[in-house]
Structure 1
């Protein structure tokens, strides 16, 4: 749907990042998510912005219990929303094993596969008829939040909410304009974000 975006609130979001930047670790721009998770587990980090897949790593760590050693909070202003990012298996057009692929794709959508995959990953099943008795407390809470949400906005950062071209433009906007945590960089990046959708 066409519309006109206001760069002001986008710039404000980047300015909030600027304010937090004083507390970033020195390798924040290059550290991998598993390494950052390890820092959190080992008590060397206070918090980490991550999806529910991080819970799989936490669940596999001895003496690191949900609600005691780690917890989560949602972003302010997101009440009633549950941001979506999905795992998927793609059937290739030039498929050397079409029958095996069809059999696999038929299975991965079943309740059994959803339980086996998601309980280990830390995520939740998209199906509404999957029994939750084998899932962790964190996942059960997430599942309830998902079921009770009023909207499920898809993730822009993972490419679900936009086209590949626009996503590439957004990444370029950040890499070319947001090299330092200043108001000026925030405003330039915000305008580049707006322009990314216009081009």
Structure 2
């Protein structure tokens, strides 16, 4: 992804649950206690761009205690929870991914950079492939009728995350281009 990619920026801004492993002065306001330091063990939602380096950086370089743990422990965001993964395994088409996260696959990809969760990776891959067939079918129908956003089509689009919406647009443009080409061939 490009540095200027809006979807990448929005994905990095997604909040992920973090547990602080040490007391941090002057940050109590993150835990609704502005007069106190942020205590070790406090759970706070931090944007992914901040949480990832805090979780991956070791404290040993600046620690006088010899403690070599990380500053925070990361948890998977609610959009990648066991409940969501179970629902996706049961029927990937039934879960409106946009309700989970506008950039569901982008967030999943970024979290898989941090966590080595083979099961989540397999579930996300299967979900994308399964849903891609429906996306292509709806895009072809929309291309055939030039009815891209009315009724059931609009409801379908509402549940797609950004990657799926891009796929829909590309498939729709391909169908439309193919139709125009066929009409040009018939004229000659």
Normalised by the length of structure 2, the TM-score is: 0.26
Higher relative contact order (CA 8 A, sep 6+): 1
Structure 1 or 2: more helix by fraction: 2
Structure 1 or 2: more strand by fraction: 2
Normalised by the length of structure 1, the TM-score is: 0.25
